[in-house]
Structure 1
Amino acid sequence: MIEIDIPGKGVYRFEHLVLDLNGTISLDGAVIEGVPKRLESLRRLVDIVIITADTQGKAKELGQDLRVEIHILHPGDEQEQKLRLVRQLGRDSTVSMGNGANDVSMLKESILGICIIGPEGASSEAIACCDLVIVDINAALDLLLKSHRLIATLRR
């Protein structure tokens, strides 16, 4: 678990990390450099779930390589499926990271929603509904590994 006291907001306890795959931690079917190392460190602190429609057809392989749980979505209502996963894990203990319009509900529902504006960009809806916007997935993962960095951005 990761625990951080944000002045004016209270104590956050992160137990789960939900990551969108395509456009967030991978590009064109390959995991972005630096992500595996950070996920290895984070696995000791939180349960990690990668959620994807598996557009590139490589999700199971990537999950095995990264040694994390992969949750493959059924075609249609992807946004609702992502929302249900966050609710199942527990919104008060889940951090979500994504970039797409179908990530909006999970970003809103999570105790901390982080929109990643990577090489594929990010939907304006995802940017508008999250708690933080970051242009690099590795910097976003580092926020959890060095959680004191969240204080300056989130304090009230």
Structure 2
Amino acid sequence: MIEIDIPGFRKLHLAHLVSDYNGTLAIDGKLIPGVQEAVSALSSNIRIHVITADTFGLAAVQLAGLPVKLTIAPVEAQAETKLEFISQLGVDSVVAIGNGRNDRKMLGAAVLGIALIQREGASAETLASADIVSPGILEALELLQNPKRLVATLRS
């Protein structure tokens, strides 16, 4: 668990990281360089879940051997499926990361939502739903490894 007290924001007790796959951990179906190492390092502090429609059909192969739980979501109603997924985990213990429009509800409901703007771009609705916008997945994962960065960004 990652515990962070952010003055003027809230106390975070993060037990789950829920991430989109393509556009977030991967580009064109292939993991972004450095993601394997970053996910492995973070997994000792938080349970990592990946929920995706798996557009390219590569998520299982690319994530093989990593300490993550993969869930393939149906193509229909993805935003609602992702929201329901984090609701079952308990939104007060979830940090969610994504970039697509189908991630907007998940990021908005999670106790901490991080939107990414990488090579695939980001949905404006998702950016508006997030607590933090990060330039990339490695930087987003570093925020969780270095909680004082979250404090500096979110305190009021």
Counterpart Cα distance in 2 of 1:90 and 1:81? 14
Segments of 4+ in structure 1 off by > 6 A?
none
CA RMSD in angstroms comes to: 0.9
Between 21-30 and 6-15, report the one with greater CA deviation. 6-15
Q: Report the secondary structure of 2:122's partner residue.
A: coil
The residue type paired with residue 65 of structure 1 is: G
Corresponding residue for residue 87 of structure 1: 87
Deviations 1:43-74, CA, capped at 9 Å, x for gaps: 10111000100101012212323231101001
Distance in 2, matches of 1:61 and 1:147, equals 31
State the distance in 1 between where 2:63 and 2:69 align.
Answer: 6
Determine if contact 2:48/2:67 at 8 Å carries over to the other structure: no
| Alignment of structure 1 residues 1-156 onto 2, 5 Å | 1-156=1-156
Q: Distance in 1 between matches of 2:117 and 2:106?
A: 16
| TM-score between the two structures when normalised by the length of structure 2 | 0.97
* Structure 1 unaligned residues grouped into runs of 5+: none
- Aligned residue identity for 2:52: T
Secondary structure of the 1:148 match is helix
* Residue type of the alignment partner of 1:111: V
Q: Specify the SS of the correspondent of 2:128.
A: helix
Aligned partner of residue 64 in structure 2, secondary structure: helix
TM-score by length of 1: 0.97
Identity of aligned residues (%): 46
Q: State the shift of 1:75 in Å.
A: 2.1
Given that 2:115 and 2:130 are in contact with CA atoms closer than 8 Å, whether structure 1 keeps it comes out as yes
Cα offset, 1:148, TM superposition: 1.2
1:137 and 1:47 mapped to 2: Cα distance? Answer: 17
Secondary structure of the structure 1 residue equivalent to 2:147: coil
- Structure-2 separation of matches of 1:139 and 1:124: 20
Mark the runs of 5 or more structure 2 residues left unpaired by the alignment. none
